[in-house]
Structure 1
Amino acid sequence: MSTTQAYLEHVAIYVGDIAPHIAFFDKVFGMTVTQVKGAADNPDQVWLLGGIQFIRKEGFAGPEGRFAHLGLVCADMEAAIEAALAHGAKATDQGHNWLLLPDNLYLELMPNKGESVQIARANDRRI
């Protein structure tokens, strides 16, 4: 039995230029910008409606975006952190809610707001 429940709130991706991704996801999927870090005309990071975060990475030369981290909302964040550490996750210097798994998979754990975990999990079309 799991210690707590969670849902994937966002996926963070490194890109060289954020602007074309903002335009694409807005025009194709209606996923508008909900938060900006940095200058509005040349942001360092943006979060889109629907769970995508783009992070501008200087010198990025890949043909596609690169994974940065998974953001998980937890019904009981502290219990999830404790369980994750007991199951081999490592603490990071980014804060107590940031964990590192094997293969350099970073997790950002966030607290539940109201019943958001239960609502998101109940709305999963695959179950």
Structure 2
Amino acid sequence: MALSKVSRTEGVKLPKSHPSSLDHVAIRVSDIEFYVRFFARVFKMEVSSIDGDPERPLQLWIQDVIQLISDSDFQGPEGRSAHIAIATENIDLVLAEAREFGAVAQTKGPNWIEMPDGLVFELLEKKPTGD
């Protein structure tokens, strides 16, 4: 189906009282502790809740929107996701810190990185909040 056909809403009554929004993204990771350190150091994002033993969690949530599912047998990006986009105020600093965790540049552009296990991040300039 062409995108132009997918995005059409002619004749469709859209409910105004039930807008949708993204709740969270779930990702399988082989080393959950690695990603806890990565998100804390590189993006300054902390664990908001844990499912299971805190020493060996089954899964956990970062900032309530990124769900990391521990799967020690997970071997790569197939079936995981295409990428995670993170907005940040200082892309250059994030890139430098991510490299310390083994991230490498992607061919898609200077703001794309790939982690050693294949997880891909797109880094975006954080939009001003208008305060």
Structure holding more strand per residue: 1
Q: TM-score, normalised by structure 1?
A: 0.47
Q: Which has the higher contact order (CA 8 A, sep 6+)?
A: 1
Q: Over alpha carbons, which structure has the higher Rg?
A: 2
Using the size of structure 2 for normalisation, the TM-score is 0.46
